[in-house]
Structure 1
Amino acid sequence: MVNRKVAVLRADASSSIGVGHVMRSLSLGEALLDEGFGVELVSFELAPSLQSLATSCGVELVELACAPRSSEDAQFVLQRNANIVVVDGYEFSREFFAVLEASSTPFAVVDDNAETNAQTPSAVINQNPHASASMYAQLQGNPKLLLGLQYAMVRKEVREVAAMNLSSREGEVFVAMGGADFLGLTAPIVEALAETGLQIRVAVGHTNTQRVHIQKLADQLGNVTLIEQQDYVSSLASAHVAVLAAGSSLWEACAVGTPSIGLVVADNQFASANAAKKLGFTRVVDCRVRFNIDAVLNEVQSCILSGTSAMRGAALSTGVAHGASMVARELGAIA
């Protein structure tokens, strides 16, 4: 019996950094499993709901037993004896990467805006539409560059739902402000949209503290439904338009052909969201300095009134649904 290769994914999630790093790591993990890898996720104090999600994906969860994102962290990861390590996160120190670089284990970094402290990775994965080779010209060792939306690491469930070509429900708005929603935008968006008479389906993320409040709104308002995580993708796919935090959720909406309003809530989202806007499948509202609910309402109503067929066509033409599989195959060639 031939031992299968092992990929170790290193990512964290919290109310301050969100859950996006872990979510796209799990998306990649699913694809690596399909490629025959054994997959482990090393994480620090991961929320129970995310632990359960990792297990349901078939990914083995390993609790980090030292200070996160330090040189000791990297040594802990290397002790897993992986064939390849994939690191996703902005806060991993130079000391962390120096340990990986001194080893013989190939490693890849998942990056968004050339923010990695790695100097000699084996590969760089930047799934955003603004990604370019010039962003990584300073890296040494000629790393493999997996850049652009063709490498967007959307979940296996998203790929499966995209293949169903679900019909959209006229006048229904899907709302999801990411796993954490650290600006607390979910409730005010839902309250304002509910007053328009549109049907609202809202998802509350794994570390979002507003769940009880949103449930009360759903109980009080006949046109608001709080959905469970297992209904997230199908609800997104059947929405007329989606209001989303401008992270990886935009690529999931794109994969299922749902026009979106992307709310930029962090600096690292600005370039990718505006590049997506140029591609025609999303509109953008910048919420970093001031949250303007009227701007969100105007974009939703304008999108619905002007028709969404062009945005839907632009989304489907990108072909992002199979990005995780493409990344997994490329990493398989390196491991």
Structure 2
Amino acid sequence: MKKVIIRTDASTNIGSGHVMRCLTIAKNLQKQNINVKFWMKELPGHLINFVEHEGFETINSAEKADLYLIDHYNIDEEWEKAHRLFTNKIVVIDDLANRPHDCDLILDQNSLPNFESRYDGLVPQHCIRLLGPKYLIMRDEFIEARLNLKERNNQAERILVFMGGSDPTEETIKILKALSKSKSSFEHIDIVVGNGNIHKEEIKHICLKQGYEYHCQINYMARLMQRADFSIGAGGSTTWERCYVGLPSSSTIVAENQAFTTIHADDLGAVVNLGWHEKVTVEMYVDLLLKLKNGEVDLNQLSKIGLSLTKTVSPNPWIEEILELLI
């Protein structure tokens, strides 16, 4: 049996996105009878228990494997060269294109003006480049949701709020304050947080008090997105998940790696970019809620562009390329 080790981390600072997309890859590999292990550090807000609950063994040091898959902003060419002692092939998942890699395949699913050339000089000549939104990493639930898209009527009655697993900039708290200050009322509001959110108990209490539906560390995000009319979210990989299922949304930039993709997605008309988190106030969220209620946001257009941008010939085409490396 072939063996793959995934090196990634989650924490209150890093967030949960790296681990969640690696789980998607791991489950696709597992379906091909490949033994997958996660190498993770026990950082504050880690998701080691969650990964184990999903059926994967976790380790805390290097082991021999047929392939290493790395999804980590603090790992570069130096680390990768050193770990060639343990593996024949290396796959890197990246968003930043800000450091050199010693890898055999690089996957960057983001849509940017220069996405086809942004890794020039950063990866070896032999490296396979899987770049752009046609290589989106999508869980089965999202693939199924895209096959069963809901009819949209340009009215926002069901609002979904998810500001990332850890939400270190406390956007969820801001939005809850905006909801309490706003004169706009909505039929249903879903509030989603991750285990890494240090305010999750406070958020849960507010939701219970206000009648909002509270969700923590869930595996049914696509179902919530299918039901929602609009999502207030952060930048990053969940931007593409929302676009993939045709859910109109706003994005607040909460980390450096989200800036270029969020700005570009806004330029394309796929999301409403609210800007950098430190400049996004409670009043700005109140204004967004009012515009949604008054029909001042073209939900149908946002949905249409998001769907077009994330169109692929087949779901998760990257899996075949990774499997080729394991032959």
Equivalent position amino acid for 1:220 in 2: K
Q: Which amino acid counterpart does residue 211 of structure 1 have in structure 2?
A: K
Q: Is the 8 A contact 1:243 1:260 kept in 2?
A: yes
Query: What TM-score comes out, normalization by structure 1 length?
Result: 0.85
Partner residue, 1:237: 226
Partners of 1:333 and 1:180 in 2: CA distance: 35
Aligned twin of 2:67: 84
Pair 1:148-2:148 in alignment: no
- Distance of 1:290 and 1:64 partners within structure 2: 39
Contact 1:109 1:116 (C-alpha < 8 Å) held by counterparts? no
C-alpha distance after superposition, 1:4-58 (max 9, x if no partner):
x222211001111111111111111122223442222111116798335424544
Number of residues paired by the alignment?
A: 316
Aligned CA distance change for structure 1 residues 36 and 143 (closer, same or farther; 3 Å): same
1:10 aligns with 2:1: no
Distance 1:35 1:239, change over 3 A: same
**Deviations 1:77-111, CA, capped at 9 Å, x for gaps:** xx2x3222110011125531221346661101111
Structure 2, unaligned runs of 5 or more: none
Q: What SS does the aligned partner of 2:247 have?
A: coil
CA 233–35 in structure 1, closer or farther in 2 if over 3 Å, else same: same
RMSD: 2.5
The change in CA–CA distance for 1:322 and 1:14 in structure 2 (over 3 A counts) is farther
- Cα-to-partner distance string for 1:206-248 (whole Å, 9 max, x where unaligned): 20011111122112213x2213424432112211110111011
Please identify runs of 4+ aligned residues in structure 1 that moved more than 6 A.
Answer: 46-49, 321-324
Secondary structure of the corresponding residue to residue 114 of structure 1: coil
Which residue of structure 2 lines up, in the alignment, with residue 263 of structure 1?
252
For residues 206 and 116 of structure 1, do their structure 2 counterparts lie closer, same or farther at Cα, with a shift above 3 Å needed?
Answer: farther
**Could you tell me which of 52, 60, 63 is aligned with 1:64?**
60
Letter in 1 for 2:14: I
**Corresponding residue of 1:127:** 109
* 1:34 aligned partner: 31
Cα shift at 1:300: 4.5
- Give distance in 2, aligned partners of 1:260 and 1:289: 19
What stretches of structure 1 of length at least 5 have no aligned partner?
66-75
Is contact 2:67–2:89 with CA below 8 Å preserved after alignment? yes
| Cα distance change on mapping 1:302 and 1:190 into 2, 3 Å | same
Identical pairs, percent: 23
Deviation (angstroms), 1:318: 3.0
In structure 2, relative to structure 1, the CA distance for the partners of 1:142 and 1:271 (3 Å cut) is: same
Structure 2 CA distance for partners of 1:63 and 1:320, relative to 1, 3 Å: farther
Alignment partners' CA distance in 2, 1:217 and 1:314: 34
Aligned AA (1:328): I
Give yes or no for contact 2:67–2:87 (8 Å, CA) kept in 1. Answer: no
Secondary structure of 1:135's counterpart equals: coil
Q: Which structure has more helix as a fraction of its residues?
A: 1
Moved more, 123-132 or 258-267: 123-132
Match for residue 70 of structure 1?
none
The two structures have a TM-score, normalised by structure 2, of: 0.87
> Aligned equivalents of 1:284 and 1:52: distance in 2?
34
Residue pair 1:193, 1:200 contacting (<8 A) in 2 also: no
What's the CA shift for 1:141? 3.1
230-239 vs 184-193, which moves further: 230-239
2:13 maps to amino acid: S
Change (3 A) 1:322 1:43: farther
Cα distance between partner residues in 2 of 1:151 and 1:6: 23
Match of 2:223, SS state, is: helix
- Give the stretch that moved more between structures: 181-190 or 109-118: 109-118
Q: Which residue of 2 aligns with 1:315?
A: 306
SS of equivalent residue, structure 1 residue 106: strand
Q: Which residue of 2 aligns with 1:212?
A: 201
Q: Distance in 2 between matches of 1:289 and 1:218?
A: 24
Distance change >3 Å, CA 277–CA 210, structure 1 → 2 = same
Name the CA distance, whole Å, in 2 between partners of 1:10 and 1:262. 28
After TM superposition, give the deviation of residue 121 of structure 1 in Å. 1.0
